[in-house]
Chains A and B, each alone.
Chain A
Amino acid sequence: NAGVTQTPKFQVLKTGQSMTLQCAQDMNHEYMSWYRQDPGMGLRLIHYSVGAGITDQGEVPNGYNVSRSTTEDFPLRLLSAAPSQTSVYFCASSYNRLLNTEAFFGQGTRLTVV
Chain B
Amino acid sequence: AQSVTQLGSHVSVSEGALVLLRCNYSSSVPPYLFWYVQYPNQGLQLLLKYTSAATLVKGINGFEAEFKKSETSFHLTKPSAHMSDAAEYFCAVSDNAGNMLTFGGGTRLMVKP
Contacts and interface: CB of A to CB of B under 8 A. Distances in A.
B partners with A: yes
Interface of A: 4, 33, 35, 40-45, 48, 50, 56, 58-59, 90, 92, 96-103, 105-108
Given A97-B99, A99-B98, A100-B49, A43 B90 contact: yes
Nearest to B98: A97
Contact of A97 (B6, B41, B97, B106): B97
Contacts, number: 67
Contacts of B104: 42
Interface of B: 4, 6, 9, 32, 41-46, 49, 51, 90, 92, 94-95, 97-106
Binding site of A, secondary structure by majority: helix, strand, loop or mixed? loop
A103 B6 CA distance: 20
A6 to B, nearest CB: 8
B32 A99 contact: yes
